[in-house]
């Protein structure tokens, strides 16, 4: 079985600084790390390979500037991925569909049986990548996976529902699945595995197609924490009317 794991480098920041365009953060002095949701997808892919105990392979895939991608790729290889693909792209893409189209175009010739990725990225949080890529590549899709079981030409996925409920569904392969955090316990890397990762094969691809975006940020800003207290004076009727007006006009809680 050929399994792809999509990973993403996201900024690790304690405080945000907005760049001059006000459409993204100033990342000139920001450390990038692997998206936490993707670490669970990577672990699930490796566990799936170990359960199958055959000639299955796990291929880590990441897209972004070369320096960030190299760091994330080495981490994925050290944790157990067999090889990797770096899609080199310096454009800041915030449109999930544009992002998915690039991925689909770059990996369609790989004929993956299974694609896994984290539920969402912590920087954008759209949660659409796995479904869009699956649709573009003609795969079955599922989200919020909290359990997986591989069978002969099919996969069973335990989906997380609301109010503590879950649901098992059976899908044909190939499939694209987003993994919920907490599904497993991502492994740590050893010094030996970090060294071995340097010898694993990594294919470098470049985005040559035109990137067409249909959505993006018009303004990126940090919300201001403001507190305001208003005292309402008058008799009961006046106070009641004022509170109802605030609920309707200011807070939009009632119609």
Q: State the pTM of this model.
A: 0.81
138: left (phi over 0), alpha (psi -120 to 50) or beta: left
Residues ≥6 apart with Cβ < 8 Å to 84: 59, 60, 61, 62, 73, 76, 77, 200, 201, 202, 203
Query: Which residue do the tokens 């050893």 mark?
Result: 190
Contact 160, 171 (CB under 8 A): no
pLDDT per 10-residue tile (average), the chain, 255 residues? 93 77 77 91 95 90 90 94 92 84 92 93 84 95 94 92 90 95 90 92 86 76 75 87 86 76
At 7 the pLDDT is 94
- Between CA 61 and CA 63 the distance in angstroms is 7
Tell whether domain 2-206 is in CATH 3.40.50.620: yes
At 222 the pLDDT is 74
Closest CA to 136 of 101, 160, 90: 101
At 15 the pLDDT is 67
At 63 the pLDDT is 92
Angle (nearest 5°) at CA 53 between 51 and 56: 100
């Amino acid at each position: 079985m050929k399994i792809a794991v999509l990973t993403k480098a996201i900024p690790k920041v304690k405080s945000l600084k907005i760049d001059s365009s006000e459409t993204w953060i100033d990342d000139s002095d920001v450390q990038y790390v692997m998206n936490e949701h993707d670490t669970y997808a990577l672990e699930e892919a490796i566990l799936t390979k170990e359960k199958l105990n055959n000639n299955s392979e796990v291929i880590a895939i990441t897209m972004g500037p070369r320096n960030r991608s190299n760091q994330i790729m080495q981490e994925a290889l050290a944790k157990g991925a067999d090889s990797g693909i770096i899609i080199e792209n310096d454009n800041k893409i915030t449109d999930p569909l544009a992002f998915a189209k690039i991925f689909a175009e770059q990996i369609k010739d790989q004929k993956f049986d299974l694609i896994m990725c984290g539920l969402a990225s912590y920087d954008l949080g759209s949660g659409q990548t796995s479904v869009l890529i699956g649709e573009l590549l003609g795969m079955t899709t599922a989200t919020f996976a909290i359990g997986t079981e591989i069978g002969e030409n099919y996969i069973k996925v335990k989906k997380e529902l609301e109010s503590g409920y879950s649901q098992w569904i059976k899908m044909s392969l190939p499939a694209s699945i987003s993994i919920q955090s907490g599904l497993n316990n991502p492994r740590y890397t050893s010094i030996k595995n970090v060294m071995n990762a340097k010898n694993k094969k990594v294919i470098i691809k470049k985005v040559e197609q035109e990137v067409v975006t249909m959505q993006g940020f018009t303004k990126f800003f940090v919300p201001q924490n403001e507190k305001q207290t208003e005292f309402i004076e008058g008799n009961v009727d006046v106070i009641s009317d004022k509170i109802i007006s605030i609920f309707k006009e200011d807070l939009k809680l009632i119609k």
